[in-house]
Amino acid sequence: MHILLTGGAGFIGSNFVHLLLKLRPTYRITNLDVLTYSGNLENLRGLEKDPRYTFVKGDITDEKTVMPLIESCDAIVHMAAESHVDRSILDSRPFVMTNVIGTQTLLDAARRAQSKNGGGAWMKNNRFVYVSTDEVYGSLPLENPELKFKETTPLETNSPYSASKAGGDLLARAYHHTFHMDVVTTRCSNNFGPFQFPEKVIPLFVTNLIEGKQVPLYGDGKNVRDWIHVDDHCEGVLTALEKGKAGEVYNFGGNNERSNLELTHEILRLMGKGHDSIKPVADRPGHDRRYAIDCTKALRELNWKPTRSAWPQALADTINWYKNNEAWWRSVKSGAYRDYYTKQYGGR
């Protein structure tokens, strides 16, 4: 099996590459990534000489780049995206370009591609996995803890990020319905783990605390996220690729709901810091209140369940990874990141 992975130099993509080469030693993987601020080849260090792995620098919106790559592979796992809600509030255009136009470019190239070895239309035999997000479902109220997102929950996006991901998600659905393309969609909750860009809350808070800074907690801190370890998500994507049914959507979550205040207190406790490290700041505009995932379908149909997401151990291991890999995040934090934070917060 030869997989074309898009966005493999990012957080989830690079963890997917490492996991895949470990779990499926006979697979090959081509990583197509344009290396935006969040793409980092350091995440893949050591793989340069692995004959099973190839890196191609290129943009998913460029049809000339993607077509030959699709024609030489047996499946597409599409993860490339602009991924941060706060950035989408500052400027939504790159989100539409990559998450909507990029996804449309890939789907359309896959529709028209020919298989290697003269096997006819590529899409006749090969699968396209679209890695979506639970954020396409919108927001749940705090008052009804029994409510969770199911695959059948209507899409009700609230941020430019989630709207652009839903654009890709609906295009993927449409290409299955209209052209009978073998498309499987995954929708996962908030990931944590190694190599996450320190704009997302966990690596931002952990690295700020190592630097002796405060952590900016939005609003009243009561917003809830369901935290899943990135390896559980990556295994879910692999299972969906191998066992999912064409045209189906699969939710993945960690069964690990926490308010941001609970998350922050847990990080402070594990890092031996006091509550004076919390800096309450203005809320994010349009901030979704609660995400919660019902992943019984993945359990039932894919025999998947999260096995590495349980706290406090998984969170403590992640904190230790950032403690032990200071060079990685310090170099990341001193580059494009700084420009962004200066623009958004005046450099806090």
Residues that bind ligand TYD (CB under 6 A): 85, 190, 200-201, 204, 216-218, 223, 225, 260, 284
Catalytic residue among 53, 161, 175, 341: 161
Q: Kindly tell me which residue out of 79, 107, 183, 240 binds ligand NAD, with binding defined by CB under 6 A.
A: 79
Three-state DSSP at 196 gives coil
Task: State the DSSP H helix or E strand holding residue 95, giving kind and residue range, or none if neither.
Answer: helix 93-95
Q: What angle do CA 122, 105, 117 make, to 5 degrees?
A: 20
Q: How far is the CB of 13 from ligand TYD (least distance, A)?
A: 16
Q: Kindly tell me which residue out of 11, 55, 291, 337 binds ligand NAD, with binding defined by CB under 6 A.
A: 11
Q: How far is the CB of 212 from ligand NAD (least distance, A)?
A: 26
Q: Which of ligand TYD, ligand NAD, none lies near 191, with the C-beta cut-off 5 to 8 A by kind?
A: ligand NAD
* Contact range with ligand NAD by CB under 6 A, out of 59-67, 120-128, 203-211, 298-306: 59-67
From CA 37, how far away is CA 313, in angstroms rounded?
30
User: Cβ distance 191 to 230 under 8 Å?
Assistant: yes
From CA 282, how far away is CA 87, in angstroms rounded?
16
Catalytic residue among 33, 59, 134, 288: 134
From CA 7, how far away is CA 94, in angstroms rounded?
15
Closer Cβ to ligand TYD, 304 or 337, answer by number: 337
Written as one string, the DSSP assignment of 301-313 is: HH-----S--TTH
Q: Phi-psi region for residue 224, left (φ > 0), alpha (ψ -120 to 50) or beta? A: beta
Q: Which residue is nearest to ligand NAD (CB)?
A: 10
Q: Which of ligand TYD, ligand NAD, none lies near 85, with the C-beta cut-off 5 to 8 A by kind?
A: ligand TYD
Instruction: Calculate Rg over the CA atoms of the chain.
Output: 19
Q: Catalogue the active-site residues.
A: 134-135, 161
Binding site for ligand NAD (CB under 6 A): 6-7, 9-13, 33-36, 38-39, 59-61, 79-81, 83, 98, 102, 131, 133, 165, 188, 190-191, 197
